[in-house]
A = this chain, B = another copy of it.
């Protein structure tokens, strides 16, 4: 099962290592990744990869994670035309983790069931990121307890009175009489197509 060594396979293996270990491998560990027995050979390959711009070091001299391992190229909007692979290289890259999660400690992920927010494009089976402890603004999608059950609603506050509305005509608006039991604000929606 020995695969031919090339810049691409080395890049991919390092990328996989980072994905699993969340850190870059040491030179000793890279001997296994490359299938060689000497650190000097690793040094040889790392130098080559750095010359190609595939690998980089940070200000402290540590190897930076590969761009490809956690970042994805973000290309333009659909109707602006489909960019060529060459164009893609020039675009921005984003990390989904960093993009989606601004406050990791106070956030959690919830799997959606029910269709109360279907009009907002939040479907059963989707994942939503919920951030706790933030004051909701009008129009925010929030997680709230209604009749002892947790559900998602649009939040509106007018003149001190709170209205919770669904994005689905099946469910009538709710005007909670007492205090509102607030689970958090929906900050992101994630849907993965099964594969």
Contacts and interface: CB of A to CB of B under 8 A. Distances in A.
Interface string A164-195: 00000000000000000001011111111101
Contact of A82 (B24, B100, B145): B145
Interface residues of A, number: 74
Nearest to A74: B109
Secondary structure call for the A interface: mixed
A74 B105 contact: no
A65 B143 CA distance: 29
A38 interface: no
Q: How many copies of this kind of chain does the complex include?
A: 2
Given A12-B105, A101-B96, A105-B68, A110 B193 contact: no
A80 B148 CA distance: 11
Interface of A: 12, 15, 19, 21-24, 26, 29, 58, 60, 62, 64-65, 68-70, 72-82, 88, 94-102, 104-105, 107-114, 118, 121-123, 126-127, 129, 140-141, 143, 145, 149-152, 183, 185-193, 195
